[in-house]
Amino acid sequence: MALPIIIDCDPGIDDAIALLSAFVSPELNILGICAVCGNQPLERTVRNALQITELGGRSDIPVYAGCYRPMFRAPIHGQFHGENGLGKTELPPPVKEVESLHAVNFLIESCESAIARQEKITLCSLGPLTNLATALSMKPSIAGGIERLVLMGGAYREAGNRSMTSEFNMLADPHAAHVVFSSQIPTVVLSLDATHQVILTPEHVARFIAVSGRISQPLGELMAFWDRNDVRRYGSRGGPLHDPLVIAYLLAPALFATEKARVFVEHESELCMGQTVADWYGKSGQEPNVEIVTHVNAEKVFALFYGLLARYAENS
């Protein structure tokens, strides 16, 4: 049976790559896509999600608009995604329309329905955690319908990528992150510690363009725009493959090593706002609440994505 998942995201170039990879994975049953304010304002992340579903030939997947701002702070937006969130890539205006149901209500209804069927859903979070935190604040019992949460966010042994200490998704809504990490949901975290091990170089981009068939042009444009050209930080040209690693983890968890820890999120200090602090050695006296990915087999992860995105050539 395909794994039932909900993808909560803020597209975003790396979100787009993650979605396009998930669309051609029969192992995943995508129940819906929830958009949230993050890399771009909500109106744009919703539009981008609709455009990406059409590019991927998956207009059958419903898209829901979620929270238009963080729980308590003013919105911030991504720095590496261009003016429209998709770099310089211009996709056709979406034909598909957003669902009338709010994303938070969709999350609640989906989890309650799963509980009633004695089943569970896997949540994939690629952006700020505002939608899920709001749903948990309204109906804490929905945690019973969640098998696990697999999220991209945080920084532990790596420095932050949006502030000195903080990764963007956590800084964008630290209060939401605090709510989610304080819940009892089993959680796997792909932080900058993991994503900085998987750098999408120009050589990788060339190979993706060669194998991806009908989506090769927009995919190549997205990936080329993602090049940070920061050899000092990443050791080469290219950019970290952040959000797609959530999909890779679902499909091939054996390619990832994890370590359990208790994670706390700073949501009071402006100096370290959004910092994720891991108690690796039990100093807090509290039990671990997440599994943090500490090592990634980057070579095999790239091989996985080559195989996935080559399916667009097979289906051309």
Residues serving a catalytic function are 242
Q: How far apart are CA 101 and CA 274, in angstroms?
A: 30
Q: Is 115 exposed, middle or buried (0-12, 13-18, 19+ CB in 10 A)?
A: middle
Phi and psi at residue 10, to the nearest 5°: -140, 60
Q: Closest Cα to residue 210, out of 306, 301, 305? A: 306
Compute CA distances 27 → 15, 23, 233, 247, whole Å.
Answer: 19, 10, 35, 11
In the chain, the DSSP E strands lie at: 3-9, 28-35, 63-65, 121-125, 146-152, 187-190, 199-200, 239-240, 256-265, 276-279, 290-296
CB atoms within 10 A of CB 81: 25
Q: Indicate the SS3 state at residue 129.
A: coil
Q: Which amino acid is at 105?
A: N
Q: Apex CA 186: angle with CA 14 and CA 188, to 5°?
A: 35
Residues 6+ apart with CB under 8 A from 308: 21, 24, 25
Establish how many alpha carbons lie within 13 A of residue 143's alpha carbon, considering only the half-sphere containing its beta carbon. Answer: 16
User: How far, in whole angstroms, is CA 189 from its chain's centroid?
Assistant: 10
- Contact predicate 25/33, CB 8 Å: no
